[in-house]
A and B are shown apart, each in its own frame.
Chain A
Amino acid sequence: MKLLTHNLLSSHVPGLRPGGGFPLRIELGHPSELPPEPVPDYEGDEEFLRRVHHVLLEVEVLEGSLQCPDSGRRFPISKGVPNMLLTEEEA
């Protein structure tokens, strides 16, 4: 799962406030380095843009989970595929 794909996903556990399901928190098996806050004038900063491009499109999360910000419900990621299915009880 690339970060670009992660950006599309949100939690739809019932009973959330509007927008409460986004963004999902990425939890990895091990710590990883992601860029810090964007620098001012980042559009012109080639180095920064290259790093963002790398993180958005070249890094793949293979194993881990996505946590719903409001409910805490975890959606597992296995072999690079996030599983967004709700259980029968939740739906």
Chain B
Amino acid sequence: MKKLKLKELESCLQQVDTFESPKLLLEQYPTRPHIAACMLYTIHNTFDDIENKTIADLGCGCGMLSIGSAMLGAGFCVGLDIDADALEIFNSNIEDFELTNVNMVQCDICSLPDSMSDTFDTVIMNPPFGTKHNKGIDMIFLKTALQMAKTAVYSLHKTSTRQHIQKKAAEWEVKMEVLAELRFDLPASYKFHKKKSVSIKPNITEKILR
């Protein structure tokens, strides 16, 4: 498979269609192509957790991370999301990109059956942070991701939650490593944003299951 350069990946991901009317309560916003590209590139080149692997994308939305993974040679990607509208956009993206190894399931990550344990090599996700009457949802996503993944979970979280995550990782007996700290540029996608762009500082966290 032709080796895709970071810049090429990023410019491909810029073609991914995103939410038309993002739903506030679901914290819907697209993962920026630059962040998605950097994250996926690292996972692929440093850790080799994408090529020929089965990958789950929890809270996939319009599929930015799944599509990027498929472009880097993933064996099979499954996106999971609760919102039918987002999945419809994801579906049309898959057609546009002519991908044949990406599927999606509409479901509620917070109530997945145990039968999904150890079903994927890698989980890659940008979960909701829990800022909209859904406090703690980021940890539910993380816990579920760790159950589903056989090898590793790569996830984006707010820097302010780092200590809490470290504590939970120790409790769950998984190894956690912060891979990068980024500034997230969120242009005002919700009407009430008064500032032009809001900076949150999430960090990419890797967890390796023992």
Please report A residues at the B interface, Cβ cutoff 8 Å. 1-2, 4-5, 8-12, 21-22, 57-58, 79-86, 91
Cross-interface CB contact of B106 among A4, A22, A83, cutoff 8 Å: A83
Contact B103–A5 (Cβ < 8 Å): yes
Q: How far is the CA of A11 from the CA of B114 in the complex (A)?
A: 11
Residue from the list A22, A80, A86 in contact with B91, Cβ < 8 A: A80
Bound Cα distance from A29 to B178, whole angstroms: 48
**CA gap between A82 and B101 in the complex, in Å:** 16
Contact A4 B105 (CB under 8 A): no
Residues of B participating in the A interface, judged by any CB pair closer than 8 Å: 76, 78, 82, 84, 87-88, 91, 100-101, 103-108, 111-113, 115-116, 119
Secondary structure call for the B interface? mixed
If the complex has contacts A2-B103, A80-B91, A85-B106, are A8 and B78 also in contact, measured as CB distance less than 8 A?
yes
Are A9 and B105 closer than 8 Å at their CB atoms? yes
- Interface pair B103/A21, CB less than 8 Å apart: no
**Does A81 contact B105, Cβ atoms closer than 8 Å?**
yes
A85: which of B78, B107, B113 is its contact (CB, 8 Å)? B107
